[in-house]
Amino acid sequence: MIPFQLGFRNLIGILVPGAALALVIFTCLDILFGGIGQAIARETGNTTGPLVVGFLLTAYILGSVIRLWSADTVDQLSASRAKIRLDPFKNKEGSIEDHLKKLLKCVAKTDVTGKTDEPDNEYFAALLKCAQKSDRQGGQQEGASEPEVLPATTAPSDNAKSDPQEPTRSDSGSERKDGQEQPLIRWAWKYDEFPYPVWELMKLRLYHPGEVFEFFERYERCFATGYRRNKEFFNYCKAVIYEAHEGKRHALAEEVQSAEAYVRFFGGVFWALLLSALALVLTAMSLLLLGSWRGTIGLSDWLIACTLLDAVVLVCAVAAATVVWKTAQFVRQKGKVKWFWWISETAGVLLLISAGVGAFRPELATAARMNFVAFATLIVAFLIIAGGRFRLSRLKEVDTVFDAFFLVQRTTSASVAGP
């Protein structure tokens, strides 16, 4: 491995989130205990080497701890912000996981690509019809009544067609000739789990050459079953890619590592921003309490209001974290998703109000600025996951790994077969 060509991106992905969090922590400590910064300056004097080394070590340790947290939570939060205009399984029996399993079984059976002028529309209609047929057969075997059948076509209404603000292309590649996104692939895009076997196989069937789909169809058992939702097969694909060309550096391995480092970097930045905002709010509230206890800040309605607002913000943060922490497959729990974002939005509004209230009093200005910076960091963290942006980046990573795995295996097979 050449560090500044391959490992450098991973190093940056650890150092930058850790450095951001370390800078916030040191700043908060210096504000609470004013002698810390001066003491460090006296100890180092004109020699900045120890200070820089200590900061980098702290940043690396904090970044490594952040890296231990899985990107799955960030992925789930990001997917929860994606919108679906029409749920193809609305009012249908069964869980989201059941619908995904039925779609996965139907992908291999459904193929109308290249047979019509609009293969994507026909394909999704046939795929949905196959899944509904599985529902009916399952209900008849259990003696249940036949459920209501959804229309096979998912064409939008005339009003939707005439809306000039509708996007003409989706980032998932599910473009339709009438400029409207197919709800079925958007649904799979949102609810599938990493490494997204249902969405990937649907995409391979429709948008890739037939040989690519046939290649991965042989790995269906590894692809979409087992503990940890086939992450082991995904890791195996990466190992094969890295081992290609006898372990020597090559373009496909670099592309895979670049995509992985990109995702890990933004996942780390997201957690660093959240922890930084929490540290800033805790410091602001501690500063107010210490000021009133030491007598430097007189007790007043302004002080009490700011302290109470910060306390409520922290309570909301704990409640929101508890909702995510105790909710498996967060994006699929629609009630929990609404509850989480309602709490988060309430905390953000209260934090902004606290910053505004404290700005009117000189003795509360420092705490107000810290609250405002905390609010700004939360906005930046939200931008990372808003609209499914982080999930889109992770999907690109998965696409890169599977495409590279196919190319490596095809090249290996050709070299073994010989001329």
Q: What percent of the chain has pLDDT over 90?
A: 27
Predicted pLDDT of residue 44 = 63
Q: What is the pLDDT averaged over residues 282-294?
A: 81
Q: What percent of the chain has pLDDT over 70?
A: 75
pTM of the predicted model, to two decimals? 0.81
363 has a pLDDT exceeding 50: yes
205 has a pLDDT exceeding 70: yes
How far apart, in whole angstroms, are the C-alpha atoms of residue 50 and residue 274? 29
Higher pLDDT, 223 or 271: 271
57 has a pLDDT exceeding 70: yes
In 3D, which of 191, 227, 177 has the Cα closest to residue 103? 191
How far apart, in whole angstroms, are the C-alpha atoms of residue 186 and residue 120? 13
7 has a pLDDT exceeding 50: yes
186 has a pLDDT exceeding 70: yes
Q: What is the pLDDT averaged over residues 53-73?
A: 89
User: How far, CA to CA in Å, does 362 sit from each of 266, 369, 383?
Assistant: 37, 11, 32
The pLDDT tens digits for 133-145 are 765 554 444 333 3
Confidence of residue 174 (pLDDT cuts 50, 70, 90): very low
Cβ count within 10 A of residue 31: 19
The DSSP secondary structure of 197-257, one letter per residue, reads: HHHHHHHHHHHS-HHHHHHHHTTHHHHH-TGGGGHHHHHHHHHHHHHGGGG---HHHHHHH
Q: Where are the domains of the chain?
A: 3-78+251-392
The DSSP secondary structure of 267-315, one letter per residue, reads: HHHHHHHHHHHHHHHHHHHHHHHHHHHHTSS---HHHHHHHHHHHHHHH
